[in-house]
Amino acid sequence: MSFLTVIIFCATIFCVQSVTYNINSSTTNWQTILSNLKAGDIVTIHHGTYVTPGFFQLTLNGTLNNPIIIQGAPNETRPIIQGPVAGANAQNVINIQGSNFMVKGIAFTKGSRGVRLGPAVTSNAIFDNIYIFNTTGTAFSANDNANEYANITLQNSEITNTNALAATTGECVYVGCVSDECRIRDSLFQHNYCHDTLGSVGGSRAGFQIKPGSYNVIIRNNVCYNVVGPCIIVYDGYDRGRNLIDGNLAVNAGTADIGIQCTSGATITNNIVINSNLAGIGVIVNSLYPNVSYTRNITINQNTVYMSQADACLRLNSVTNKNITILNNVFYCGNQPSIKASNDLTGARIYNNATNGSISATGISSCGTFAVSSNAFLNAAATNFYPASSSLLINKGVNLRYQAFYDYNGMPRSIVTPTVGAYEYSTTNNPGCPVINNFKCASSTASVPQYPLTP
């Protein structure tokens, strides 16, 4: 080993001085501690309420091998970081920028936005088990112009009442910018619970909003309940890589909008969407990449959509068969159309979809759909959409190359004849998580499917 190598080895391994800090409610300099963290530092914040003076910017410069960790004390109620005031002129509770850090087990409240990533570009960050409540605006955002946010994870986190103090768009999550002016990529939003944001007005008022040009973003195993706008909305991925929407549950979301909405570059699998106001799932021409200006690269496979208040289970606007596949879904809409399309669908790949309700679209081949009654489900009235033992859904799917290999519960699917809808039939009763208004599988710590997904 050369002398130079030894020095570099020392520099990378031994010369990082990690410090462990404990913050409690009598720690007066807690903001100074948080503002001066170095790579490898770990801060434990004990239960209590920590009020900021207003503007509070953190820069966390961790390294891949020595991330910075800020965590609530294990086994204590989460500490609360609170903006001093609320309402229209409040500051965000906290702005965080940097890379290679983790924020875990902390609550944020009041202020304007909850957590804003920025204003500088931010990457390799994990937010785990956080709780953002009673803010004046969007709970979690990453939308400063010209930034490309990469490798951001938000998981096991609860967000609620994002317009407690003034009527705002109040998204649970808003990442990326309009017209690709900033974007997020290679990121993960999983097992979060976004609920009761009914005060949202203006904008899209969404649960999880991933703006145009963002790509390789996975949004999985989240639950939305009582959200005005779409539970999940993605726009055009600019053909950089698809965004994946898998295994989510949307109940009463949007109460005035679509349940899950995309424009281009999206794979939508294994989701359950109940009682949206407009379409359960919608492909809507919205913010297309100007150079191509058409909708493309969408797969909608193995979803269960149950009822729409005012439109259809599946709404296709200006879909003209640019690599669009729709198969193995249940579109159960009763008195509303199961499928409604503004364009003729001749040539689009539409197979094996179970429908209840009229079809308001032309060009779907006769083998594209088959009708089912409510007895296809174990107990639709009790929101149990697992297939009944005699269900017409069982073994009625097809395996194309966009096969989802697992179901809503993470159970393996038949490769040859999967069950149509979000659940694969394997036993007489649902072996997985019921549909409830809570985190998927009932708690932030419940284990949920973690399988790899292919776009």
| Interacting residues toward ligand NAG by CB under 6 A | 22, 24, 26-27, 59, 61, 64, 67, 74-75, 100, 124, 126, 134, 151, 161, 164, 239, 242, 291, 296-297, 322-323, 351-352, 356, 367, 370-371, 373-374, 396, 398, 455
Find the shortest distance in angstroms from Cβ 196 to ligand NAG. 9
**3 state DSSP class of 339:** strand
**Residue 153: is it exposed, middle or buried by C-beta count within 10 angstroms (0-12/13-18/19+)?**
middle
Find the shortest distance in angstroms from Cβ 75 to ligand NAG. 4
**Between residues 75 and 390, which has the closer beta carbon with respect to ligand NAG?**
75
Three-state SS across 242-305? CEEEECCEEEEECCCCCCEEECECEEEECCEEEEECCCCEEECCCCCCCCCCCCCCEEEECCEE
Find the shortest distance in angstroms from Cβ 126 to ligand NAG. 5
Find the shortest distance in angstroms from Cβ 222 to ligand NAG. 20
**Between residues 319 and 433, which has the closer beta carbon with respect to ligand NAG?**
319
Which of 80, 169, 68 shows the shortest CA–CA distance to 131?
A: 80
One-letter amino acid for residue 233 of the chain: I
**Between residues 102 and 433, which has the closer beta carbon with respect to ligand NAG?**
102
Q: For residues 452 and 385, is the Cβ–Cβ distance under 8 A?
A: no
Find the shortest distance in angstroms from Cβ 2 to ligand NAG. 28
**Between residues 373 and 429, which has the closer beta carbon with respect to ligand NAG?**
373
Distance CA 157, CA 206 (A): 16
**Between residues 135 and 192, which has the closer beta carbon with respect to ligand NAG?**
135
Which of 274, 230, 272 shows the shortest CA–CA distance to 252?
A: 274
**Between residues 261 and 352, which has the closer beta carbon with respect to ligand NAG?**
352
Find the shortest distance in angstroms from Cβ 22 to ligand NAG. 6
Find the shortest distance in angstroms from Cβ 61 to ligand NAG. 4
Q: For residues 176 and 199, is the Cβ–Cβ distance under 8 A?
A: no
Which of 138, 81, 137 shows the shortest CA–CA distance to 105?
A: 81
**Between residues 220 and 432, which has the closer beta carbon with respect to ligand NAG?**
220
Tokens matching residue 64: 């891949």
Find the shortest distance in angstroms from Cβ 6 to ligand NAG. 26
Tokens matching residue 280: 């359960």
Three-state SS across 102-129? EEECCEEEEECCCEEEEEEEEEEEEEEC
**Between residues 145 and 375, which has the closer beta carbon with respect to ligand NAG?**
375
